[in-house]
Copies of this chain bind each other. A is one copy, B any other.
Amino acid sequence: MRMNEGVEWALHSCLNLTWAEPGEAVTAARLAAFYGLPTAYMNKQLQALTRAGILSSISGPRGGFRLARRPEDITLLDVVTAIEGAEEAFRCEGILKEGPNGSADVDYRTTCLISQAMRKGDLAWRREIAAQTIADLKAAVERAYPHTPSSTRDRFANLRP
C-alpha cells in the first residue's frame, strides 16, 4: 500500500510554484532539476495535476506550469487524488457474494460491516489531509524557514536545466 512517489514530487512542486515570480510559468525541466529528478517523469505528474485543474499549462517558449487556483483553494487531498486517483485504499471486492447466503445483486461495499469499518479509516484520512491547503503549508514553511521564498526564486532563476 505504498503511495506513488509522484505525490511527494507534486506536493513539493505546488509549494515551489507559490514562490515563483507572479505570472511566471515554470517549465517541467526546471521543477525537476530543482531536486535532481528525471524531467520526463516529473512532466507526467504535472500533466496529472493539470488534468485535475490544479495547474494550468502553457506550451512553447516561455511556457511551463503555474497554479490554476489560489493556494488557499488547493487541499493536499486534491493533489493526492490528482496523482493517485479517487478510489479508496481498501478494496472491498465483495467476497461475501460467494459466502453463505451471498447474493450477486447486493452491493457489499455498503452492507459489509468490514467494508464500513475500513471506510471509517479512509474517511478519517481524507478529512485530515483535506483540512490542509497549500496555503497553510506555504505559511508554515515561511514561518519556520524564512529564507525559503527567496532561495526558491534564486534557484529557479539560476538553474540551467
Q: How far is the CB of A20 from chain B (nearest CB, A)?
A: 14
Q: How far is the CB of A135 from chain B (nearest CB, A)?
A: 12
- B152 & A90 in contact (Cβ 8 Å cutoff): no
- B118 & A76 in contact (Cβ 8 Å cutoff): yes
- A117 & B129 in contact (Cβ 8 Å cutoff): yes
- A5 & B124 in contact (Cβ 8 Å cutoff): no
Q: How far is the CB of A72 from chain B (nearest CB, A)?
A: 15
A51 within 8 A of B: no
A160 within 8 A of B: no
Size of interface on A: residues with Cβ below 8 Å to B: 53
- A121 & B114 in contact (Cβ 8 Å cutoff): no
Once A114-B15, A117-B76 are accepted as A-B contacts, the answer to whether A93 and B128 lie under 8 Å apart by CB is: no
Looking across the interface, which residue of chain B has its beta carbon closest to that of A11?
B114
- A4 & B1 in contact (Cβ 8 Å cutoff): yes
Name which of A22-30, A60-68, A97-105 contacts chain B: A97-105
A136 and B116 alpha carbons, distance in the complex (Å): 12
Please give 16 more A-B residue pairs, beta carbons under 8 A apart, in addition to A11-B114, A113-B141: A1-B89, A3-B91, A7-B91, A8-B114, A34-B99, A76-B121, A89-B89, A99-B155, A100-B152, A113-B137, A113-B144, A114-B137, A117-B129, A120-B129, A121-B128, A125-B125
